[in-house]
Chain A
Amino acid sequence: MRTLRATLSTLLSLLVVFPIAYAISASFFRYADFTALPPRLFPSGLNLGNYVRAFSESFLARFLFNSLLTAIIGTFLRMTISIMAAYTFSFFSFKGRNALFILIVATMLLPSDALIIANFMTIRALRLTDTYLGIIATSLLAPTHIFMLRQYFRMMSVEYREAAVIEGCTDTRFLTTLLMPMSKAVVLTLAIHSFSTIFNDYLWPLLVTNRTSMRTIQVGLTMMGFSEQLDYGPQFAAITFLMTPILVAFIALHRPIIESVSIRFTGR
């Protein structure tokens, strides 16, 4: 029973990881390796030609830079805006608080994919095409984040903050020295989520970028044009180059990542 479970689990996990492993292996394939019979899982030799071509025929570094920059700034702004709003809704009482909260959170039901045509027209009218701000503009607000953060913040009593303010503590200090350390796990989880959402976005950056130098990696990868002639080597090389650092980071940090998810998102 126990062995059966371990075997099944291992088989399934190998299946899940297969595309990643194959991509790494295939990045060293010579053209003939793709058509060899029986099919090859491993390259015939350590052939670096694909990497040379991937780098000389595209702007990989620039694409990656654009993606990292937009994802980092986007995450930072998105978290700042969400935390500020969630903090206000949790600790302040003011006229229209509930109505405004519902106004913001209700947009969870307006998927941005369905609003893409109108949003595109807005971005064009604001002359934000081909800018970093244009790429991140529509992802700056995450109603789910505001909702979850408020749920979390409300576990702390309002008197806490009032007492701190009477003691002369500013809101900024209260937020940074007390509330943030306390909610590190949830903030980190939401930040990782934001980062991967912005980093992985495809249709929107495709629409709002025209210049090669502004493309994000997600768009750039599909526009490399090698695959036309089934010339897959360089494409696999580019993908391997991009995913390796993140793969290494994920493997190294697997414990904190798994734990940060287990703290929030589940049950209560």
Chain B
Amino acid sequence: MKRFIILATIALLTIPMLFAQARKESEPYTTITWWHPNSGLAGTASEELIETFNRTVGKELKIRVEGVYQGKANDVLTKLKPILQSKDQRDLPDLAQLDGSAVLDIRDAAQLITIDELAKDDPGHLSRIVEATLNSITYRDRILAMPFNASTILLYYNKDAFAKAGIDRPPRTLDDVKTAAAKLRQTDDKGRTTFWGIANVPTTYELMVWLGHQNGLTYLTDYENGHTGAPTKVLFDENGTMVNFLTRWQAIYDTGSLANLTSDLNGAFASGQVAMILASTSNLSTIASMVGDRFEVGVANMPMVDENATGGVNVGGGAIWAFDTGKNNQRAIWEFLKFATGAEEQLKWHIATGYFPVNVDTYELPEFKAHLQENPLFGVASRQLMDSNPKLQGLWVPSAYQIYYAFQSGILKMLEEKQTPQEASRAIADEINGYLQEYHLMKAR
């Protein structure tokens, strides 16, 4: 018995060695690894992108790309961070697709290769990238990462429900949202809500816009939302933008038509439980496929907090970061990034997911125009961005996860425990200031 176990163990151990051996055979290829958070439709699309690259350009230039799905964007960061901090090159991927919550943690990493360095001898390609997306990832004149999955936040609404409630266009301001939501709400004979006007608990993604676009442009923290240095305190409390927003949000809640949902909003929307949700343009294809022909989906600009809130929206989504793994893969990395952000591939990516193309040439392709003609919803995000203040930028903060929850819990607490907007704003600011100071404690020598 014991001998059997030992033999079985040895046999099992040798199998992975065989795997390793098999891979070595194809050595003349440069292999680069890409950690990404793309799942569902985006997952299929990014697998196709890799497959196309390996079959065409990659084959020609002897480059192979390996995609590794690492969970959600913040899970990719969780995996990456300890590796970067240990100043180690082992385990490091060549490429990692991250969102804005990662910037502060990554931008000073020694292993980072900026896009300027990669494009040094080949600057032509960068001139084809949508400028707003490049600006959204530039820090101290360096382009930190390659824009790839660019998005903006949008209002999704159920057109059939709107028509039934006699509302002819999507709300433009939060006051409009209040009026519309109250009309859209439906109750059963016991007075319980069966159909909600809007479902959302505002957090980082929504508030970057709803606080940031007030009075044309407002920063949430010092150092311009973290884009000129590490933020030390929030500004939304003292400048009153949070109170202004919360006052309007509470008014919506008081109509009884706001559902405080934080998960599975797409499902709630698609199954006809709620008339309006706020979500990234990258959910467009997913939501469309989930809704099917149950009702007509409408997409509109993110509602403004008030008439003075003219700042528009920031570029959301993410970018692909490049790292020096010590294997001199820079050329291979650059070839793949050029391919992934080329006009053709960005068109496929756009159609499959709803992310807007980061390549200006994509917008000129006849296929793009034909697709847009047939699916006008796909044009809302990029148009909304064009009307926005280019200085409105995403939030670069440490402990993004905790800050995300601080916003959410703070707002819920106000609604459920009947706090005033002033009290809620103060409490949220205090909690987030705590996290910002934690970061400086970790930095200080």
Contact = CB atoms under 8 A, between A and B. Distances in A.
Nearest to A58: B69
A3 to B, nearest CB: 39
A226 interface: yes
B2 to A, nearest CB: 7
A129 B91 contact: yes
Nearest to A129: B91
A50 to B, nearest CB: 15
A174 to B, nearest CB: 15
Interface stretch (A91-99, A141-149, A205-213): A205-213
A94 to B, nearest CB: 27
Interface in B1-55: 2, 5, 8-9, 12-13, 15-16, 19, 39-41, 43
Contacts, number: 54
A238 to B, nearest CB: 14
A72 B82 contact: no
Contact of A130 (B39, B69, B91): B91
Q: Interface residue tally of chain B, by bracket?
A: 20 to 34
Nearest to A77: B9
A228 B43 CA distance: 10
Contacts of B93: 210
A229 B40 contact: yes
Contacts of B15: 65
B68 interface: yes
Contacts of A202: none
B330 interface: no
A13 interface: no
A162 interface: no
A228 B40 contact: yes
A210 B41 CA distance: 23
A246 interface: no
A120 interface: yes
A73 B39 contact: no
Contacts of A231: 40
A73 B90 CA distance: 25
B290 interface: yes
Interface in A144-190: 176
Contact of A230 (B43, B68, B82, B290): B290
Interface string A222-234: 0101101111000
A210 B289 contact: no
B91 A223 contact: no
Given A210-B68, A210-B93, A223-B69, 15 more contacts: A69-B13, A69-B16, A72-B8, A73-B12, A73-B13, A76-B5, A120-B82, A124-B82, A124-B86, A129-B91, A212-B69, A213-B19, A228-B286, A229-B289, A230-B267
A-B pairs with the 8 shortest C-beta distances? A225-B39, A228-B40, A229-B40, A228-B39, A212-B68, A69-B12, A225-B43, A210-B91
Interface of A: 65, 68-69, 72-73, 76, 120, 124, 127, 129-130, 176, 210-213, 223, 225-226, 228-231
Interface of B: 2, 5, 8-9, 12-13, 15-16, 19, 39-41, 43, 68-71, 79, 82-83, 86, 88, 90-91, 93, 266-267, 286, 289-290
